[in-house]
Amino acid sequence: MAADKRGNKTVRDLILSLAVLGVVVAVIYVFIPHDSKADPVKPISYSVELGQARRDAPFEVAGPEGLSARWRATSVTYNSADPHKVVWHVGFVDPEQQYVAVEQSNGDPDAFIGEVTLDAHRDGTRTVTAGGLVWERWAGKRYNALVRKEQGVTTIVLGTGPDGQLTQMAAALRERGGR
């Protein structure tokens, strides 16, 4: 008889606990502001970092110019701690809501390409011309990329977007600065 009574008490306590929890959740939902239609992408400005990189880097730093406002920058880094592996990165969400980034480094080209493209591979002999420059086409499981290796710097435009978006970003790049 005691086991039966205890079992009923446990179920009753569980129902009361769920009711209290439901009231707390309802209060939070009603009184905490939320906007389900808001854009989850919070654009950032990268002009300060781009200026710093162009003053400091041992190579001409690529930054996009002339892209529409629908291209929103979401991440930027410049790391010059190792003068033999200076790295510039700026990431975007493109108008199709896909990720596109510009990556540059004066480090070992093969290691840098493998690291930032997550081990993409050269797509045969395919090339793309963008901004008057010839880029190698690379394909990977996560990212596709356009790669340009020059003396002292490797420039990569990579992303989840279609080739047209990568080409548009590559065409918008302007290289300036460098020591």
The model's pLDDT over 53-111, given as tens digits with 9 standing for 90+, comes to: 999 999 999 999 999 999 999 999 999 999 999 999 999 999 999 999 999 999 999 99
Angstrom CA distances, 169 to 45, 77, 133, 159, stand at 17, 18, 12, 10
Task: State the Cα angle at 138 between 135 and 143, rounded to 5°.
Answer: 120
Our count of domains for the chain comes to 1
Q: What is the pLDDT of residue 14?
A: 83
Q: How many CB atoms lie within 10 A of CB 139?
A: 15
11 occurs within a structural domain: no
Report the CATH number at residue 62.
Answer: 3.30.200.100
The overall pTM is greater than 0.95? no
Its domain, for residue 116, covers: 47-176
Distance CA 134, CA 160 (A): 21
25 occurs within a structural domain: no
104 occurs within a structural domain: yes
22 occurs within a structural domain: no
Q: What is the pLDDT of residue 178?
A: 78
Distance CA 7, CA 161 (A): 57
